[in-house]
Amino acid sequence: MIVALGVTGCIAAYKAVEVLRGLQKRGASVRVVMTRHATEFVGPLTFQSISGFPVIAEMFAPTDDPEIKHIQVAQSIDLLLVAPATANTLAKFANGIADDFLSTLYISTTAPVLVAPAMNVEMWAHPATRENVRRLRERGVQFIDPEEGYLACRTVGPGRLAEPHEIVGRACEIIGLTAAANSNDVVALTQDLRGERVLITAGPTQEAIDPVRFLSNRSSGKMGFAVAEAALARGAAVTLIAGPVSIASPKGARTISVRSAAEMYEAVKVNLDDATMVVMAAAVADYRPASVHQQKIKKNGSALVLDLEPTDDILAAVARESGSRVVIGFAAETENVIENARKKLKRKGADLIVANDVSASDSGFDVDHNRIALVSSEGVVELPLLSKQEAAASIIDAAMKIRSARPLSVA
């Protein structure tokens, strides 16, 4: 789940850091948007360091991203949360004034909006503010009203920002994250995968040339492991078949380690009958040496020629036996990404192909972000640059959409 956290120019802006932390502990990914005046109270670097994403503080800041930024953010978020929200911000929202990134984001998104006002007692009580609040409530904007207390202006009364844990709890209710009994726990998303048995492949394979050499690729397994974590968090039983990787297996997953494409194929066949959903995220070698040398090949100054043969097509084999299972494949591409993914979808017989553009340095293999497109018979959904966790959530969402259209009948 992605939350846009709007921070406005108020002394309570420092409490937004706690809100950010609280959302992260509950599994949300947070994008911070600051007004110009907010940066006078808390530096953007603070929010960037904690969130792990650049802070948006200018409407027309130069960027290498060709997308229209406020539209990109507006379409990708599950909630716009503004905490603290000043009287000025409420007035802009109520009157459709869009003169900075946050106010433009507000009128661009169809996501739910939650605001937590903070201001002077008289400002909160002023008829103009009361009218703006009324109008926003009528439009569906949700509020966490300010609390009474001693304010920065040395007055006492309603106007103090609600406690961060209350703001976080309300935000979690809206987007389907449940509050933890222990506030320090990271908790799961709604359990919409309960009853599903998800079989996932991840990582590379290694195809032996001789006892010390092999053919492989740059896959780290991060994407497949992220899908496993997302499925576990949403209640699924997960079997993870992983090639040689250097990352820890997700807690709660039944993990089977393999090395070659042949070993991965055998492990998939053994575990397929029990699966209701299959996600083939592994980067399986397409070819392997036709024969493996029993001793190390010595360098003798001459060219070495390897005779390669194709490996078994695991995805196509799974799709042929799919029944009511949801079958998802991946396509790592460096050119003609969508076109090649469409061809793979038809050729393999999968329900969905996750087209993964691995041509850029900021996405793809062995990095923490992916730029993917979800390709199915229903069409193509192109997603912006996402963390692998966000991409995994989108993949699971797409899988559940397919699942909802067919019965769960696998024994």
Per-residue pLDDT of 280-304, as tens digits, reads 999 999 999 999 999 999 998 899 9
Q: For the domain that residue 104 is a member of, what is the CATH number?
A: 3.40.50.1950
- Answer yes or no: is 299 within a domain: no
CA distance 178 to 78: 15
State residue 61's pLDDT score.
61
pLDDT digits (tens, 9 = 90+) for 146-175: 887 655 555 656 778 988 988 998 898 888
Same domain, 117 and 223: no
Contact 7/13 with Cβ under 8 angstroms? Answer: yes
Per-residue pLDDT band at 94 (split at 50, 70, 90)? very high
Last residue of a domain, one of 123, 144, 175: 175
Contact 281/228 with Cβ under 8 angstroms? Answer: no
- Answer yes or no: is 88 within a domain: yes
At position 292, the amino acid (one-letter code) is V
Q: Which of 50, 59, 97, 153 is catalytic?
A: 153
Same domain, 12 and 129: yes
Q: What H or E segment, with its residue span, contains residue 169?
A: helix 164-175
- Answer yes or no: is 408 within a domain: no
CA distance 146 to 160: 5
State residue 13's pLDDT score.
92
Same domain, 138 and 287: no
Q: For the domain that residue 288 is a member of, what is the CATH number?
A: 3.40.50.10300
- Answer yes or no: is 128 within a domain: yes
Domain count of the chain?
Answer: 2
The whole model's pTM is what? 0.58
At position 209, the amino acid (one-letter code) is I
Per-residue pLDDT band at 234 (split at 50, 70, 90)? confident
Q: At residue 392, what are phi and psi to the nearest 5 degrees?
A: -60, -40
- The yes-or-no verdict on residue 383 having pLDDT over 80 is yes
pLDDT digits (tens, 9 = 90+) for 245-276: 999 888 889 999 999 999 999 999 999 999 99
Instruction: Identify whether 153 is a catalytic site residue.
Output: yes
DSSP state of 204: B
Range of the domain at 318: 197-292+305-403
Same domain, 254 and 353: yes
Q: Which of 198, 273, 195, 204 is nearest to 230 (CA)?
A: 198
Same domain, 34 and 81: yes
Same domain, 201 and 171: no
Same domain, 136 and 48: yes
